[in-house]
Amino acid sequence: MESEAANPTSRALLALELIQNTPGITADRLAEKLGVSDRAARRYVGILREAGIPIDASRGRYGGYRVGRGVRLPPLLFTAGEALGIVMAVLDGHHDAADPTDPVGSALGKLMRAMPGPVAAQAEAVRRITAAAPDRAAVRPDAATTGTLVQACEEQRVVRVTYRSGAGTEWSTDADPWAVVVRHGRWYLLCHAHASDAVRAYRVDRVRAVEVLERTFVPPADLDPVRLLEENLASGWEHEVEVVIDAAFADVVGRLPPTLGRVEPGDEGTTRLVGSTSNPVWYAEQLAVLPVPFHVVRGAEVARAARQIGLRLLAASATP
């Protein structure tokens, strides 16, 4: 066993890393990993506590040391691979990671500066040099609004949401916030809207204001947020749509995104699509990719948009 007096600071930091990576590690196991006695291991834990790092200890069969919650953030110990992984994940979802004036870029910069040079070097190079092409479908909502909604979901508190649709219509409703779901770079509030007494999926970036009320709710016991979001993305919008597609259900169901609405078998080998939208032009554009004939039987706005798209395509195919 190595001398217990050698490198007490480095041993204390190693003890911190072991406790962070193995919450609940016992004193004897910590001593074994450090190569010191149990008494020395407890002394290193004492050094961490004296430095203001909250180290909690619990007794019993499942007891041991854990990093607690305190006023000060304890040192974050990363490997080079972990540091690179953090930067790559941030760049993948947040393309302003190198901008020090952006909140995420600023926070990532602090992490990089807190890491040892050799650990941070490759990650910092990727952060500085990599150019991320922006995802035009991704929309980053307001952080405060998102945090309020997530906390309301956690505490099962009813919220009053003021919402503006893509078409510019604004309204308010009380809702039971069941979950916040991220789908293809967009954040959605999956909820039960009281005004319509129905499940709704609201884009968080379109929430203009949110107020947490005193009332509480109980979410469905069998809630599957991702599945339910997919099923309800096309419900509750201003313009209702019904489309009859001249093809069998099996040939159509996989070609249409769930955001368009509910797809079901129709009469005589046709397929029926029922949904709603706040953007008729976008909806018609999605229908235009179908390689089979279809008819908009309900939804004058979508039918008008489809006609305009068709005329534009005909004009484009005309001989100059």
How many other C-beta atoms lie within 10 A of the C-beta of residue 41?
Answer: 26
Query: How many other C-beta atoms lie within 10 A of the C-beta of residue 74?
Result: 18
Judge whether 273 and 238 are in contact, CB under 8 Å: no
Q: How far is 121 from 10, CA to CA, in rounded Å?
A: 21
The mean pLDDT value for 265-275 works out to 91
Q: Which of 88-92, 144-148, 265-269 has the lowest mean pLDDT?
A: 88-92
Average pLDDT for 51-78 = 73
Under DSSP, the state recorded for 246 is: S
Say whether pLDDT at 38 is over 80. yes
More confident residue, 240 or 52: 240
Percent over 70 (pLDDT), the chain:
82
Instruction: Name beta bridge partners: 130.
Output: none
pLDDT value at 2 more than 50: no
DSSP H helical ranges for the chain: 8-21, 27-34, 38-50, 80-93, 103-114, 117-129, 143-155, 225-232, 249-252, 280-287, 300-317
Do the beta carbons of residue 263 and residue 256 sit within 8 Å? yes
Q: What average pLDDT does the chain have?
A: 83
CA atoms within 13 A on the CB side of 258: 11
Query: Residue 4: what pLDDT?
Result: 45
pLDDT at 120: 74
Span of 39-48, 125-134, 289-298 with lowest mean pLDDT:
125-134
Tens of pLDDT, residues 188-231: 999 999 998 999 999 999 999 999 999 999 999 999 998 888 87
Average of pLDDT values for 223-248?
87
- Residue 98: what pLDDT? 65
Average pLDDT over every residue of 282-291: 92
Q: For position 134, what pLDDT does the model report?
A: 61
